[in-house]
Each structure stands twice: as C-alpha cells, then as structure tokens.
A and B are shown apart, each in its own frame.
Chain A
C-alpha cells in the first residue's frame, strides 16, 4: 500500500536554529507532494507543493522543500526557525492526478524555544 513516512515525531529547537524535517513516500509512479502546517488551534494550511519542474520549491514563511526522486524524499527545510513556527507539520502525497486523495504522514510536532 502507498504510504508516507515522517521520521521525526517531535523536534525541539531553539530560535534561529536550522530545521530539516524528513519525509519519504513509497514508490507509486507520478507523485504530487505537499507540506501542510497546523498551528495550535488552527486548521491545516498549505505550506508548499511540488507538482513538476524545479525540485527545490519555496513556500510561505521562508520554508522550502527538495524533491529527490531517487530517494523518494521531500524534506522540509528552514534556515532559521522562529518561535512562531511552533506547530505540527504534515507531509502528504497524491499519486497520479493532482485531484487524487492525499496520503498523509503521521506529522512532526515542532517546538521552538524562545
């Protein structure tokens, strides 16, 4: 079955530290890749997406992600985190057309210490 793995369940960083959250997906042909963020008490919000083209995609709030096809990975990065980045981050994939259902990872909770 198709699946998405997020390796880190909880990451704790100090402000200004760099962030990298891992995401791997199972092979299934053409993929579209997404990172969503859920701030405390809020709904899932799209951070960035990859459909095709440049494998390095930039999203909102200074986040970026790199699609490495050979590693089936789509890791999320931010050079310098802020306290306001404290949230849960979800990697998601859909296979085939962009309108297909999303398969989510379990999420990574990020806590940023001021």
Chain B
C-alpha cells in the first residue's frame, strides 16, 4: 500500500539555524499539507499546497516558513531561522479525498 514518507525522522538543530523537512507524498495525490504537534498539544494545521502554490495557511505559518515542491515527488517545509518554540513533531499529509499522513519528523531546537 502506498505511504507518505518523511525524512529525517529526528532533526536536532540550534536556534537560528535553517532546517528543511522533507516529504514524499503518495504519487497520484494532488493536495499536500504540513501539520505540527507540539508535545502535549493538538495537531495543528500549517499549510496546504495544490497546483504548485499555497492554497491555505494558518497564522502559525509566518514568514519564517516556506514550502516547495522542487521536483515531481518531494514536498519540503523550510524553517528559515528556528526558534525554541518550533520544537514539535511535523507531519506531512497528502490526499485525493481523505488525507494520509507520514510518520513525522521530530524537530528539536536547542
């Protein structure tokens, strides 16, 4: 069964550094999403992406964040200058109708 994959599974970075989280969505899906879950809190929507552009974004998704689909398979989330409060589990999802989630990347900002 096709799956959404994410790399790395765990990323440790220092405050102020840039990080890129990578996702490979399910191949025939057209809609892509990033969510995050801070420890002990709800899963929160960050951004959705369709037809090579952002279709919706939350107030969390400020200028420090960007998304890209650099080729036909990858979907990336970049955080330009990480802050301590960016530490969270980041989930990628893709969909045709319902959303399928990847295993997540645990980002730790020190």
Contact = CB atoms under 8 A, between A and B. Distances in A.
B45 A102 contact: yes
Interface string B70-110: 00000000000000000000010101011111111000000
A45 B4 CA distance: 11
Contact of B43 (A42, A45, A90, A100): A90
The majority secondary structure among interface residues of chain B is strand
Contacts of B91: 43-44
Interface stretch (A64-72, A75-83, A103-111): A103-111
B31 A46 contact: no
A55 B56 CA distance: 29
A30 interface: no
B101 A99 contact: no
Interface string B19-47: 00000000000010101000001111100
The size bracket of the interface on A is 20 to 34
Interface string A82-93: 000000001010
B58 interface: yes
Contacts of B42: 104-107
Contact of B104 (A34, A43, A46): A43
Contacts of B102: 43
A46 B102 CA distance: 12
Interface residues of B, number: 25
A99 B48 contact: yes
Interface in A12-50: 34, 36, 42-46, 49
Given A46-B98, A104-B42, A104-B43, A99 B104 contact: no
A8 interface: no
B100 A101 contact: no
Given A34-B98, A43-B104, A46-B98, A101 B45 contact: yes
B103 A43 contact: yes
Contacts of A98: 95, 97-98
B103 A102 contact: no
Nearest to A36: B101
